[in-house]
Amino acid sequence: MKTPAPDGRHEILLARRNKKMACSPHAYVRGNTTHYYEWLHSQHGYTLPHGPAIWICGDCHIGNLGPLADSDGTITVQIRDFDQTVIGNPAHDILRLALSLATAARSSNLPGVVTAHMLEHMMEGYQQALDISEERVSIKKPDLVKVVIRGAVKRTWKKLAKERIANTRPQIPLGKNFWPLSKAEKNGILQLFETREMLELVTTLKSRDDDAKIEVLDAAYWVKGCSSLGLLRYAVLLGVEGSGYCLIDIKEAAHAAAPRYQHVSMPRDNASRVVAGAQQLSLALGERMIAQRFLEHGVFIRELLPQDLKLEIDQMRIEEATRIASYLAYVVGCAHARQMDDETRKNWRSELKLNCGKSLATPAWLWKSVVQLMANHEAGYLEHCRKYALRLDSNG
């Protein structure tokens, strides 16, 4: 395909984002964080529990969790996206995950009773992560998650290169997903990788020498994501002395839509905010991310490892649904719990148990919010599709 010039990206990116979001209600929910928080702000007197002031993901949907490798190569399922991270109410992460699970259940044509049980098991999994007793046990990984992790363990640089850049040669092929850079962008990337901070990031992995030389082999504008399409995004292919190649992801940090708590100390720079949140919520990813300035924009930078994957759960079977909900909530709960002392965990756990029914353990605030959000997003999705179809007709 013909690739656009740097000054012609915006309209194409906007059209691609609109197309992605028209594919399914699940895709619409994943790509429209702003809509979620607009709904929250519009609910006058809505009652979510007031959780402790901790770093939250801010966009805690299914696709933002998955296997990650730390600098020693250990693979665990953790939160993997922090564009929206803030110090805020952990209930927002719980509700966002619940909405994502409910939408995935709908896309899988599961009956509503399964959704009700999914949310019940989700809360049980989250609360188990907050347990401070010595009897606390980890939740077993569902089979679907085990399959993803096994695939992550076996992945190599060649597999990563074939998926991300279409070949294993030291070149990024321009086309649908990679577009040419402007002269300023090329020069900016070369200058960026001359800094000591970038050398330290690249040599973080245990297998690399601290004084290894690095060389920029190729770079391109990366067309990736959905809600973030339109922000600066670059793929940089590096040669690393003694250890072959590595692929670096550079992404612009934008203002977070997620509401933060007032009177808390948080970095004002958006890129530094993203890295600070990652370091608290996802140890595997936070240790290999840095914030930098690039062409007067704040960006956060990380090396992509072959083992870094997102969970693709577009279709679930009934017998899998509750186990997946419980396990993913447990992962999020562990990320939250690491930031709390025992007393805070205990109080937050007690708060979450309020307003639960006698038969189902889903608190009333969560169930009512998910039902309203599902209806709200369904209406938003259909309206988005109508406008998308009208644009197609007018362009056709």
Mean pLDDT per block of 10 residues along the chain (396 residues) reads 77 83 80 81 74 96 87 83 95 94 86 90 93 70 72 58 57 86 94 89 75 87 74 89 84 92 93 96 89 93 79 74 92 96 94 70 86 87 88 72
Name the pTM for this structure. 0.87
Cα separation, 49 vs 103, whole angstroms: 23
Q: How far is CA 240 from CA 28, 159, 198, 214, 215, in A?
A: 39, 18, 12, 5, 7
Encode 81-120: b = buried (16+ Cβ within 10 Å), e = exposed. bbbbbbbbbbbbbbbbbbbbbbbbbbbbebeeebbebbbb
For the chain, give the longest Cα–Cα distance.
65
pLDDT at 348: 95
pLDDT at 359: 59
Strands 65-69 and 54-56: unpaired
Domain residue spans in the chain? Answer: 6-309+317-395
Q: Give residue 272's Cα distance to chain centre.
A: 17
* pLDDT given at position 32: 78
Classify residue 166 by burial, with Cβ atoms within 10 Å: 0-12, 13-18, 19+. Answer: middle
